[in-house]
Amino acid sequence: DLTIDDAGVDPVVDFLFNRKRGHCEYFASTLALLLRASGIPSRVVSGFKGGQLNAKTQKFEVRQLHAHLWVEAFLDNRWEPLDPTPGAREE
Of 1, 5, 6, 83, which residue is the catalytic one? 83
CA angle 82, 83, 85 (to 5 degrees): 155
83 catalytic per annotation: yes
6 catalytic per annotation: no
Of 6, 14, 66, 68, which residue is the catalytic one? 68
Of 6, 24, 66, 76, which residue is the catalytic one? 24
Give the Cα separation of 38 and 35 in Å (integer).
5
Q: Is 66 helix (H, G, I), strand (E, B) or coil?
A: helix
User: How do 52-53 and 67-75 pair as beta strands?
Assistant: unpaired
Active site residues: 24, 68, 83
